[in-house]
Amino acid sequence: MTDEEYLTSLLNKDEEALSQLMDTYTKLLWAVGSKYLNHQQDMGIQDIEELVSDVFVRLWKNPKGFDPSKGTLKTYLCMMTRSMALNKLKQVAKDMTVELDDSITATLTKEESNMDWQAFYQAVMTLEEPMREIIIKRYFYEMKPKDIQEKTGYDSKLIDNKLYQGKKQLQKQFKELGGELG
């Protein structure tokens, strides 16, 4: 199935399409999630399984969040997994802070909300090529600029410039789309 066909199927609540997506992308999402959660002290296999399941549940509940004209379903799912993993790490850190603060009877102040991954995804997808490609490879696949250069054949100065310009544009576009960095 194409990404557009998957979207149509998900909008029609086709469980078979979701099952196919899970078969296709579970290992990839597991790898993305484990990159962030596996090395943490209190995170384990169960947390990664829960994260991957949550990604598919979120996609099932809100398939309209994916826009095939702005990027591939694979990239969308990877970005959602990364964002949700980082949010989970923030929550664990916040919970640890709460325990510490409770032990010294300090009052907690409200922490900034978790990053709005939907707005962030939309902002990234508004970038033009090759900037979007370079930003995704650098920040979502965590490739080093040298690796991006080898993979794409782009000049190192172009990569550095696009990363700098992309970050600036991304901050502006993310705010315009109503995102909130947390």
- In order along the chain (182 residues), what is the average pLDDT of each group of 10 residues? 92 94 94 78 77 94 91 93 86 56 36 52 81 83 86 91 85 63 44
Say how far apart CA 41 and CA 58 lie, in whole Å: 26
pLDDT number for residue 46: 84
Give the pLDDT confidence score for residue 121 in this predicted structure: 72
State the Cα–Cα distance between residues 161 and 143, nearest whole angstrom. 16
Q: Which of 113, 21, 3 is nearest to 58 (CA)?
A: 21
Tokens 């919970």 belong to 95
pLDDT at 126: 81
Q: What is the Cα–Cα distance from 138 to 79, expressed in whole angstroms?
A: 12
CB 140 within 8 A of CB 82: yes
pLDDT at 118: 66
Element (H, E) at 151: helix 145-152
Both tokens assigned to 138? 């650098």
Name the phi and psi angles at 115, rounded to 5. Answer: -60, 135
What is the Cα–Cα distance from 41 to 18, expressed in whole angstroms?
Answer: 32
